[in-house]
Copies of this chain bind each other. A is one copy, B any other.
Amino acid sequence: MNRMSDNLDQLCVNTIRTLSIDAVQKAKCGHPGMPMGMADAAYVLWTKFLRHNPKDPEWFDRDRFILSAGHGSMLLYSLLYLTGYDLTLEDLKNFRQWGSKTPGHPEYRLTAGVETTTGPLGQGLANGVGMAMVEAHLAERFNKPDHIVIDHYTYGIVSDGDLMEGISHEAASLAGHLKLGKIVYLYDDNNISIEGNTDLAFTEDVVKRFEAYGWHTQRIDGHNREEITKAITEARNVVDKPSIIACRTHIGYGSPHKQDKASSHGAALGEDEVALTKEALNWDPNKFFYVPDEVKSFFEEAVPRGREWQSEWRMSIENYRNVYSDDAKKFDQYLNKNLPDGWEQNLPVFKQSDSGMATRKASGSVLNAIADAIPNLIGGSADLSPSTKTILENAPSFSETKYNGRNFHFGVREHAMTAALNGMVMHGGVIPYGGTFLIFSDYSRPAIRLAALSKINPIFVFTHDSIGLGEDGPTHQPIEHLMALRAIPGVTVMRPADANEVTYAWKYALEHKGGPTALIFTRQNVPVYERNEKNHAKNVEKGAYILIDSEKDTPDVILMGTGSEVQIAVETREILAEKGIDARVVSMPSWEIFNAQDKEYRDLVLPPNVKARVSVEAGSPQGWEKWVGCDGRILGINRFGASAPYKKIYQEFGLTAEHMADAALSCIKTEGAAKTS
């Protein structure tokens, strides 16, 4: 251990350490070891490099700081408090308590200055890649040789755990490929994870691995503040490669019995050890949550400095506005959180057609129809764009030589793509979407969940949405995926039934705030239905609506479905009509949206007195009881798919109009029986 000096730097670093120790001890749980180990590196970064304005955490051109190792949240909270963000000492004392601004792991925007939600490992690292992609995109789009309006770094702290997770590979490989030079990550190389020394499971040569990805790498002593300063300076200067600095640190630094031990990772040190640690750090063991005046003063220099940086930036924007007024208007539009006026004018209307169109294809048409009107709509696919139809045809690819491209090639990296999309939204300035097959939503679920938890609105395009993809077979046919996505709080799942529903699903997704939207599209053709004012596809925005009504006011039976199975309901209606049964067909593209309508509307679509109801969806039946009720029938799939031409599979699985008609008849009978009993 270094001999403790009483200089201001050391005092500042130990303030971070002791605040973290005290907060964890007070909560009686948490993760003190990481803040203690990374206090030196974080201190140097935050006081010598990070360009930010604590009084305006949303200043657009600020440097981003990501604590990918989110369990070390007290490190971040300490820094936010000390540098003058909207966080008090009282907040630190409320660490991990109900309703506090200081939850166990950092949550995006719950706490001013928290740039992303972290804790599940690897996510922050990949969010940062998305942020840096947007920074590069906007810089190339707007900067002029003599007028720089976008110029900031993405800093982060990543841990052994982050680097063991697969998503770190995907994201780092992508960042290296794209030469995102303004990423600077500090790797907390402390040789300890929860089960013990990293020798137990993790002996790869991390630095060499990142070199293989095309990163600039350094190894330093993470407690030597001069080395840290030099390394960050060098990393910033390397502009054509992302940088990682392996900081050899001691977890639980300063704790006589727990330094360099897994025991300092995820539990309070204990009162005795807290006292001993403070003594070792030359700190008064009787003081808790103690911030020396000179420390507070020094850190708070961040406030005037931040104000100055931001006002310089405002001035440069004003200059830019004078010289490049068209670009400046565009710039404002990019930064505006609302869509440009009139963007929806080019939304396509598709003609009725029995042979129809795959909804993925309709999605491609919609995207391309609106691409000009929404220039900051950008996106791509996890190496499936020819299939997901997510290409903007008149735009170039985003690449290491063309950062203003709008088509992103994420590679076969669904997880990093999704986390990068999250980072792109959190960065701001763009409206990002990303596509893959619905089956591979499984590969990216942790990031989908974090989008919902963070209340941000990336758009996920999931195609090849059922057994309807046919011959690729059960490994590629989603069964449980719709339900599994619907189960995540805050995710809006939309599975449009035809091309015109696709148009309004996209409209909804683009206008929706407060959570991600998952757009679910078919591989195979589905009919384009006839529309009139009553069954207009804009009803998609209500989640469910009457696509074809019964002749009578009160239908004999309600047939409901989503996506490609709506056509089965439509055919069933015809079969039933021949038997004198009068059915209503309800298209239900989104459970979440329908559920949020008022009762009056819901009862209009699904009148409570009509108990005979049949649903059809080519997926898990779990939960359809909610809509069909006790007397209803559910047509779904309770097994894995099969490899065969898709019509054959529908037939074999009983997802047919004949079968649905039988189900309708049987539930009309049951209901009748119930009525007369």
Residue positions of A touching B, CB distance < 8 A: 27, 29-30, 70, 96-100, 103-105, 107, 117-122, 160-161, 164-170, 173-174, 176-177, 193-195, 200-206, 208-209, 211-214, 262, 381, 383-387, 397, 399, 409-413, 415-416, 439-440, 442-443, 445-446, 449-450, 452-453, 470-476, 479-480, 483-484, 486-490, 620, 622-623, 625-626, 629-630, 637-640, 642-645, 648-649, 652
Can you sample 12 A-B contacts with CB below 8 Å?
A104-B643, A105-B643, A160-B412, A164-B173, A164-B383, A165-B443, A166-B415, A193-B411, A195-B385, A201-B383, A201-B411, A209-B213
B640 touches A166 (CB 8 A): no
Cβ–Cβ < 8 Å partners of A176 in chain B: 203-204
B411 touches A483 (CB 8 A): no
| Given contacts A103-B474, A170-B166, A449-B442, A640 and B413 within 8 Å (CB-CB) | no
Q: Which of A386, A416, A475, A642 has the most CB of B within 10 A?
A: A475
B409 touches A195 (CB 8 A): yes
Q: Which of A384, A439, A443, A470 has the most CB of B within 10 A?
A: A443
Q: Which of A100, A161, A480, A637 has the most CB of B within 10 A?
A: A480
Add 6 more A-B contacts to A166-B413, A445-B445, A489-B637 (CB < 8 A): A119-B472, A201-B409, A201-B411, A202-B412, A205-B211, A487-B487
* Cβ-neighbour of A168 out of B166, B209, B214 (below 8 A): B166
B644 touches A195 (CB 8 A): no
A453 to B431 Cα, complex, angstroms: 37
Give the nearest-CB partner of A211 in chain B: B208
Q: Give the distance to chain B from A273, nearest Cβ to Cβ, in Å.
A: 18
| Given contacts A173-B204, A386-B194, A475-B118, A166 and B165 within 8 Å (CB-CB) | yes
Q: Give the distance to chain B from A96, nearest Cβ to Cβ, in Å.
A: 4
A195 touches B442 (CB 8 A): no
Q: Give the distance to chain B from A99, nearest Cβ to Cβ, in Å.
A: 8
Q: Give the distance to chain B from A150, nearest Cβ to Cβ, in Å.
A: 24
Cβ–Cβ < 8 Å partners of A484 in chain B: 445, 480, 483-484, 487-488
Give the nearest-CB partner of A414 in chain B: B165
* Cβ-neighbour of A383 out of B30, B195, B204 (below 8 A): B195
Give the nearest-CB partner of A381 in chain B: B195
* Cβ-neighbour of A473 out of B105, B411, B471 (below 8 A): B105
A207 to B100 Cα, complex, angstroms: 48
Give the nearest-CB partner of A399 in chain B: B200
Cβ–Cβ < 8 Å partners of A416 in chain B: 166
A168 to B203 Cα, complex, angstroms: 16
A195 to B445 Cα, complex, angstroms: 23
Q: Give the distance to chain B from A646, nearest Cβ to Cβ, in Å.
A: 11
Copies of chain A in the complex: 2
* Cβ-neighbour of A410 out of B98, B201, B443 (below 8 A): B201
A514 to B321 Cα, complex, angstroms: 67
Cβ–Cβ < 8 Å partners of A383 in chain B: 161, 164, 193-195, 201
Q: Give the distance to chain B from A669, nearest Cβ to Cβ, in Å.
A: 18
Q: Give the distance to chain B from A136, nearest Cβ to Cβ, in Å.
A: 15
Cβ–Cβ < 8 Å partners of A473 in chain B: 96, 103-105, 107, 119
* Cβ-neighbour of A193 out of B121, B122, B412 (below 8 A): B412
Cβ–Cβ < 8 Å partners of A486 in chain B: 622
| Given contacts A204-B176, A386-B194, A484-B484, A117 and B475 within 8 Å (CB-CB) | yes
A387 touches B194 (CB 8 A): yes
B483 touches A165 (CB 8 A): no
Cβ–Cβ < 8 Å partners of A214 in chain B: 203-205
B200 touches A173 (CB 8 A): no
Q: Give the distance to chain B from A27, nearest Cβ to Cβ, in Å.
A: 6
Give the nearest-CB partner of A171 in chain B: B166
B442 touches A200 (CB 8 A): no
B412 touches A105 (CB 8 A): no
| Given contacts A201-B383, A383-B193, A453-B475, A622 and B487 within 8 Å (CB-CB) | yes
Give the nearest-CB partner of A205 in chain B: B212
A410 to B384 Cα, complex, angstroms: 31
B483 touches A479 (CB 8 A): no
Cβ–Cβ < 8 Å partners of A639 in chain B: 489-490
Cβ–Cβ < 8 Å partners of A166 in chain B: 122, 165-170, 413, 415-416, 443
A208 to B415 Cα, complex, angstroms: 23
| Given contacts A120-B440, A412-B193, A201 and B177 within 8 Å (CB-CB) | yes
A640 touches B439 (CB 8 A): no
Cβ–Cβ < 8 Å partners of A169 in chain B: 166, 168-170
A119 to B643 Cα, complex, angstroms: 12
Q: Give the distance to chain B from A298, nearest Cβ to Cβ, in Å.
A: 30
* Cβ-neighbour of A643 out of B103, B471, B642 (below 8 A): B103
B121 touches A412 (CB 8 A): yes
Cβ–Cβ < 8 Å partners of A202 in chain B: 173, 177, 411-412
B648 touches A98 (CB 8 A): yes
Cβ–Cβ < 8 Å partners of A450 in chain B: 475
Give the nearest-CB partner of A475 in chain B: B119
A622 touches B483 (CB 8 A): yes
A445 to B440 Cα, complex, angstroms: 10
B177 touches A170 (CB 8 A): no
Give the nearest-CB partner of A591 in chain B: B622
A160 to B412 Cα, complex, angstroms: 8
A373 to B498 Cα, complex, angstroms: 59
| Given contacts A208-B212, A643-B100, A200 and B409 within 8 Å (CB-CB) | yes
* Cβ-neighbour of A475 out of B70, B98, B490, B648 (below 8 A): B70
B412 touches A165 (CB 8 A): yes
A193 to B626 Cα, complex, angstroms: 43
Q: Give the distance to chain B from A261, nearest Cβ to Cβ, in Å.
A: 12
Cβ–Cβ < 8 Å partners of A385 in chain B: 194-195
Give the nearest-CB partner of A174 in chain B: B201
Cβ–Cβ < 8 Å partners of A446 in chain B: 440, 442-443
A208 to B173 Cα, complex, angstroms: 13
B642 touches A103 (CB 8 A): yes
